Amino acid sequence: MKFSIRDLLLVTLIVALAVGWCLREMQVRAELALVNRWRSAAGALEYLFESDGWDVEWERDLSQVRVSRPAGVHRSEQFGLNTDDFGPGTPMKDSLRSLP
């Protein structure tokens, strides 16, 4: 059985596409796993705040979360946070600010 150069190039192209597709799928799955871990952590923090009497409001369009304690419960407090400033192990910088 003889193979031409065209046949070898076609097989090489098909193998390269398959390998590239597999590598991209592995990368997407790893990113999805990281997103799910952060989503779970955010849900746990939201639960802790709410169980302590705080109100948590997510503004996904603005990538912000607002945490406030209703008036009459201790003292009225409100904090806002730009969630775009955070990632794994990112220090808080000046993202946490007291709101009026």
pLDDT tens column, 60-73 = 777 777 888 776 65
Domain ranges of the chain: 1-52, 53-100
Nearest residue to 99 via CA among 76, 72, 71, 73: 76
Residue 95 above 70 pLDDT? no
- Proportion of the chain above pLDDT 70, given as a percent: 70
Question: Mean pLDDT score of the chain, rounded to an integer?
Answer: 78
Mean pLDDT of 39-47: 83
Q: How far apart are CA 55 and CA 2, in angstroms?
A: 73
Mean pLDDT of 20-29: 97
Enter the tokens of residue 58.
Answer: 């997510």
